[in-house]
Chain A
Amino acid sequence: HPHSRPRHSRAHTMVPLLLLLLATAHGLDELGYKPQLASSALGGLNTTSTFVLEQPRCVFTDYPNADIWLVVAIPEAVANFSNSVEPGTPERAFQGFPTSAGAYMTLNTTLLNYPCPKDPGEITVLRVGSETSCATDASRPTCNGPLPGPGPYQVKFLALEGSEPVAETEWSDRIALRTASQPSSILVKGSGHSTGMIALTSILAILFAILLASLVAMVIFWGSDSCGGSSTFSKPEAVSVRRYNTHHVYDQPAARL
C-alpha cells in the first residue's frame, strides 16, 4: 500500500532532512557584524580617495580556512549583489569600478591576520585605497586602489572557501569621502581695518596737523618780529645787556606772547 503509515513517518523525517541538506548546500552564514569606519581620532580616516575601516576581529572565528575578502560597492549594486561571482573576474575588477563593475573585491587575507581577541593597545585598521601602483594595471583586478570619487560606498566582508562563499557580514552604512574645493573659492578678506590702526592713524594725523599749524604760526611770528619784538631771554653776554636797554625804549607789553 503506498499510503501506509511507515511511509508517512518517513515523509515527516524527510522534510527536515531535505531542509538541512539545502542549508548546508547553500552554506552561507550571515554574521551579524556591520563593518565600520575606524576611530575618528585618526586624521586620515576619510580623505578624498581613501577611507579607513576597523578590522573584522573576532568575527570570522568559525572559518579558519577561508579567505576573507573585502567587497566595496556603490549603493546601486548592493541590492542585486551576487556572492557567487568570483573575485578577479572582470565583473569584480577594481579597474572597472564603478562603470563596468558595480563592486570590486580586494584585501583578501586569512584569519591569521585577524587574531582574536584584539590587543587593546593596537590600532587595527584596514586602509581602503592605499595601493596606487596597481590602480591602472588590468592584470591586478584585486588591487586595493584609490577610490575614483567621493562616493558614497558600502562595504562588507565575505569569506570564501575555494570559490564557495561560506560567511558574510552585513553591508555597512554608506561611507562618503571628502570633496575638495578650489583654492580660488577662498575669500581673502579685503581691508578689515582694526581699531588700533584707525586710532593710530587719526592721532598721528592730528598731531602732525598741530605741528604744521604751530610752524605756520612761528613763521608768521618771525615775519612780524623781524626787526623788533620782545624777548624775554638774554644771552649771557655783555653786549646783549646794552641791547636790552635799547629795546626797553620800544617795549610793548602787548607784543609779548
Chain B
Amino acid sequence: MAKSDDGIRILQGLLVFGNVIIGMCGIALTAECIFFVSDPHGLYPLLEATENDDIYAAAWIGIFVGFALFGLSILGIIGVIKANRTLLVVYIILMLITYAFEMASCITAATQRDFLTPNLFLKQMLERYQKSEPDNNNDKWMTEGVTKTWDKLMLQNHCCGVQGPSDWQDYTSAFRVKHNDADYPWPHNCCVMDAQGSPVNLDGCKLGVSGYYNSKGCYGAISGPMNTHAWGVAWFGFAILCWTFCVLLGTMFYWSRIEY
C-alpha cells in the first residue's frame, strides 16, 4: 500500500508540476500572440490585400487559448491535489476543447506561411501599388494600405521592389500606367532620400548609380517578420500541445486511480 501510495504521490507531484508549466506557457503564448497581432512591422495591410489573413486569425486564437490554458492549469492543480474526480473530468474535457483550438491555430499558421511566397507579394505590388482607379471602396481601402505600406517599407529598409528595382522594368504595373518609364524607371521611394524626404540625386537615381538608389529587394524585410510570426505561433503551440498531451494522459491515468 505504502509503495503505491508513494507512487500516486509522485504522480500527483508530477501532474502539479506539469500543470504549472502549462500555466506559464499559456501566459507566454498569450503574450507572444498579442505581440504578433499588434503588428510592429506594419505589414498587416499587405496580408489584408491578399484576402487571406488567416495567420492573424491563428494569432488571435492563440491569445484566447493561452488564457484558457492558464485558467485550466489552475483548475487542474486544484483537482489533482484534492483528488476530486468531478473536477478532473471537467478539467480533462475543457483541456481537450482547448487542445483542439490550439491545434487549429498551429496548423493554420504553418499552412498560411507556405502561402506567402515572393511571387504573391510581387503580383500584389505590381497590381495595387499606386493604382489610380480602384474598382470599389474595398479595393480603394486595400490599394491605399498596400501603397502606404510599400512606401514605408522602401523608405525604412532602403530597398526597392520585391526582388529588386528590375521588378518595375520586367513587368507592367498600375504604377507604370500612372507614371511614364523615362521619368520614373522605378518609384521615387527607391531613391536614397535626404532628411527632408526628397531624393539626394534624382538623375543618379534614374540612371541607377549605386549609392543614389536602393538596389536590393524588400522580400527579406517582409518575409523575416512573417516567418517569425508564423513559426512562433505554429511551433511554440506545437511544443505546448506535446507537453499538454503528456500531462493529460497522466491526468487520465491518475483519475482512474483515485476513488470516487
Q: Choose among A123, A188, A193 the residue that contacts B114 (Cβ–Cβ < 8 A).
A: A193
* Per-residue contact bits, chain A 174-204, to B (CB 8 Å; 1 contact, 0 not): 0000101111001111011110110011011
> Are the C-beta atoms of B92 and A215 separated by less than 8 Å?
yes
Residues of A within 8 A of B215 (CB): 43
> Are the C-beta atoms of B185 and A47 separated by less than 8 Å?
yes
Closest Cβ of chain B to A140, distance in Å, is 15
CA distance A49 to B257 in the complex (A): 82
Cβ-based interface call for A89 (8 A):
no
> Are the C-beta atoms of B171 and A42 separated by less than 8 Å?
no
Cβ-based interface call for B207 (8 A):
yes
| Selected interface stretch from A20-28, A151-159, A226-234 | A226-234
Residues of B within 8 A of A211 (CB): 96, 99, 245, 248-249
> Are the C-beta atoms of A204 and B103 separated by less than 8 Å?
yes
Chain B, interface SS category = helix
Chain A interface extent, by class:
35 or more
In this complex, which of A43, A50, A180 has the most chain B Cβ atoms within 10 angstroms of its Cβ?
A43
Chain A, interface SS category = loop
Task: Name B residues whose Cβ lies closer than 8 Å to a Cβ of A.
Answer: 4-5, 8, 83, 92-93, 96, 99-100, 103, 106-107, 110-111, 113-115, 117, 119-120, 122-123, 126-127, 165-166, 169-173, 176, 180-183, 185, 203, 206-210, 213, 215, 234-235, 238, 241-242, 245, 248-249, 252, 255-260
Task: Name A residues whose Cβ lies closer than 8 Å to a Cβ of B.
Answer: 41-45, 47-50, 52, 123, 125, 127, 129-132, 145-146, 178, 180-183, 186-189, 191-194, 196-197, 200-201, 203-205, 207-208, 210-212, 214-215, 218, 221, 225-226, 229, 231-235, 240, 243, 257
Besides A188-B123, A257-B257, 9 other CB < 8 A contacts?
A: A41-B210, A43-B209, A49-B180, A127-B206, A201-B107, A204-B107, A207-B241, A235-B83, A243-B259
6 closest Cβ contacts across the A-B interface? A43-B208, A231-B259, A44-B208, A197-B110, A146-B182, A183-B126
